[in-house]
Structure 1
């Protein structure tokens, strides 16, 4: 494990009334200790998990539109407003890694086509593969060596079966002790990864919770066990 701690430098923030400092979970953040090789950020949309993950990517000098240190291209609204106000503590520090931003992956794939050989990603352009195939090609071919990987909702392109495939890839990299992952997700499948730390951004602060206490697990579990009642309650509301 390389990244040990994330700190928000409160004394340097001009105002907590403006975004992203007005997000409750960010406003209440002082120090966040990273305890596991695999850490999940979980919470409702707008809770701040992707905002903090993007800030970590910015501080790692990864392209906040998606990519690593050497992937230079621009996407609108890819700048991190929070990155200048956090401090990362490492032991040891690594400079290799990747920031996966699902919403702008198309632009990363276009960038790869212009600067890298196609055979780096399974002998085909990422654009010639399905969305799910291209994600798995990235994981299988780009993720290696001592590195930190920051993934924002990787399940966006993965079917349930391919999410299980991703868990196997994650496991292989985790047991090598050379890779660290911080993953923002809504997926109850990904959150089920063993021995991971799950940090919830809900209710205005960041706290560690158990898998069975996450909303993705509880809502999915209840729906599968009580589908007809669940849908009736929603439709009759």
Structure 2
């Protein structure tokens, strides 16, 4: 693994967010015992804030969106990240942090790059006076091909889920720290299974480490994953079948009529 543990160096004397969260006030050292760790809990419990702070403190790049250092909405993550103490087993800057909404920014950046390449090639064609035009265009064509081979030229034309999965397949390539916030927001159940397959492959073949905040009982079913539940301001390990996500989903699927009558 890359990260062995995360703790809080000291707690500032302030009630400003995120230090007013019970999770942060009660935070003790979190030990990572698996290459796949899930942070689970209700919205507002602090799981996304903690994940963002780990991303900032570990200095992994942001995939697709504005960097945590520059994003004005990430001030809380920066404040908390500066207070975290991370113990590394094999420190690396490889990997990334991403949220489902970052995919839109990622697509825009890819399309912008392709448009700039196309514009430069057109300008060369319009002003070419002689010689081998193909030779002049070769570097641009090579760069364009590298982008489309990796991400697809029609990434924006794909469904959100298909493109998001292709994004993961293109970016999760080697050993690194991958911090992902609620990937299920953009993935159908079938594509969640495809993501599980990709994660299992990368853990086995390149020893990648994943820390994922999720509500999905499908994704958190990954074998041998460590599930950390945030509840009543504390974070503690929990078995998969003891999570509310699993119990509620199973109860609903076993007898949806009972639930729907209560609505």
Q: TM-score, normalised by structure 2?
A: 0.81
SS in 1 for 2:173: coil
Distance in 2 between residues matched to 1:178 and 1:184, nearest whole Å: 20
- Matched with 1:161 is 190
1:147 lines up with 2:176 in the alignment? yes
Per-residue deviation, 1:73: 9.5
Q: Which moved more, 1:74-83 or 1:197-206?
A: 74-83
Contact 1:4/1:89 (8 A) holds in 2: yes
Distance in 1, matches of 2:67 and 2:149, equals 15
Range with greater deviation from structure 2 (21-30 or 150-159): 21-30
2:51 is the alignment partner of 1:22: no
Structure 1 residue 115: Cα displacement:
4.7
More helix by share: 2
1:45 equivalent among 26, 37, 43? 43
Q: Secondary structure at the match of 1:171?
A: helix
Cα 1:74–1:85 shift into 2, 3 Å? closer
1:203 is aligned to 2:232: yes
1:150 Cα deviation after fit: 0.3
**Structure-to-structure mapping, 1:79-158, within 5 angstroms:** 79=75, 80=77, 81-115=79-113, 117=144, 118-119=147-148, 121-158=150-187
- Which 10-residue stretch deviates more, 203-212 or 118-127? 118-127
- How far 1:74 moved relative to its partner? 5.3
Q: What's the TM-score once normalised by structure 1's chain length?
A: 0.89
Offset at residue 114 of structure 1 (A): 3.6
1:71 shift after superposition: 6.5
Who wins on radius of gyration, i.e. which is larger? 2
Say which of 73, 76, 85 aligns to 1:77: 73
Looking at structure 1, the residues matched to 32 and 242 of structure 2 have their Cα atoms a distance apart, in angstroms, of 19
3-state secondary structure, aligned to 1:10: coil
Q: Against the structure 1 CA distance between its residues 56 and 73, is the aligned structure 2 distance closer, same or farther, given a 3 Å change threshold?
A: closer
